[in-house]
Amino acid sequence: MAFGGKFDDRDDVASDINVTPMVDVMLVLLVIFILTVPVLTHSVGVELPQTQAVRTQTETKAVSLTVAQDGIVYWNGQAIGEAALEEALAEAAQSEPQPEIRLYGDRKTDYEHVVRVMAAAQRAGIAKLAFVTKPRD
């Protein structure tokens, strides 16, 4: 009767994988998960107070600044000079709530004209400056 011990006549290498340690580890992990899941989902029952939410919506005005191809700036559709633009932007910056400035730049205008308007808005202290573009079809 040979049990495969050291006194065996064969010099074969045992090629069986011993899965017992892996099964032990998996069982320990399973027990840990079984014990911790109820602890994680357990919560204290608290009756929360009910409130009525009131929507406070402030009407923000929007000013459209259009820079035409030739560099002329339009404030809500009316042509405005550079000095008057600075003054109007300063007034808008002081108003509460501050209006959103929507900047429309012509596709063929020089970038310099658009940058002048942006710099004037920054100097005036405008917080909201939006570029308006047309999406491609």
Domain count, the chain: 1
48 falls within a domain? no
Prior bond of 97 cis (ω within 30°): yes
Residue 4 lies in a domain: no
Task: Give residue 120's identity as a one-letter amino acid code.
Answer: A
Per-residue pLDDT of the chain (137 residues; tens, 9 = 90+): 455 555 555 666 767 788 888 899 999 999 998 888 877 776 677 777 787 877 766 667 888 999 998 989 999 989 999 999 999 999 999 988 888 999 998 888 888 999 999 999 999 999 889 888 887 76
pLDDT at 39: 75
What was the pLDDT predicted at 43?
A: 67
Residue 94 falls inside a structural domain? yes
Decide if 75 contacts 63 (C-beta within 8 A): yes
Domain of residue 124, CATH code: 3.30.420.270
- 10 in any annotated domain: no
**Residue 88 falls within a domain, yes or no?**
yes
For residue 84, is it within any domain?
Answer: yes
pTM: 0.55
CA angle 48, 52, 54 (to 5 degrees): 140
| Residue 69 belongs to domain spanning | 63-132
**Does 43 map to a domain?**
no
Determine, yes or no, domain membership for 25. no
Backbone angles phi, psi at 111, to 5 degrees: -60, -30
